[in-house]
């Protein structure tokens, strides 16, 4: 996070005052403080009342290892059938072969 010097903080404060107005700032700060207090109390309450956070010793899961047969191809690859060239078939028909 970048270091904020006094000049940057003053600029940020001026922008906030211009955006929200000087009259609303105390009310906003008060409500923000109340919200933060409620949030902290709720998170502390959740941490204190959560019994599931107790450490549980878990037994390692042991499953039998299933032996599979080695993989074999299902079918042999076939060579594509190539039709004779068109010129040759027309010559054969013309000559009667």
Question: Residue 31: its pLDDT value, please?
Answer: 93
Average pLDDT over the chain, rounded to an integer: 78
Q: DSSP code of 74?
A: S
Q: How large is the average pLDDT for residues 63-75?
A: 72
The Cα–Cα gap between 68 and 52 comes to 40
Lowest mean pLDDT among 36-40, 46-50, 86-90: 86-90
pTM to 2 decimal places:
0.37
Sorting pLDDT into bands at 50, 70 and 90, what band is 92?
low
The Cα–Cα gap between 77 and 20 comes to 75
Taking alpha carbons only, the member of 42, 58, 39 closest to residue 50 is 42
Q: Where are the domains of the chain?
A: 23-50
Q: DSSP code of 43?
A: H
Q: How large is the average pLDDT for residues 69-75?
A: 70
Sorting pLDDT into bands at 50, 70 and 90, what band is 85?
low
Q: How large is the average pLDDT for residues 47-74?
A: 70
């Amino acid at each position: 996070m970048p270091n904020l010097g006094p000049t940057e903080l003053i600029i940020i404060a001026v922008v906030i005052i211009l955006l929200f107005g000087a009259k609303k700032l105390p009310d906003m700060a008060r409500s923000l403080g109340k919200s933060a207090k409620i949030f902290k109390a709720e998170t502390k309450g959740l941490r204190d009342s959560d019994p599931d956070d107790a450490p549980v010793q878990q037994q390692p899961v042991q499953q039998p290892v299933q032996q599979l047969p080695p993989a074999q191809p299902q079918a042999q690859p076939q060579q594509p059938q190539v039709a004779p060239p068109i010129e040759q078939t027309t010559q054969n028909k013309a000559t009667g072969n």
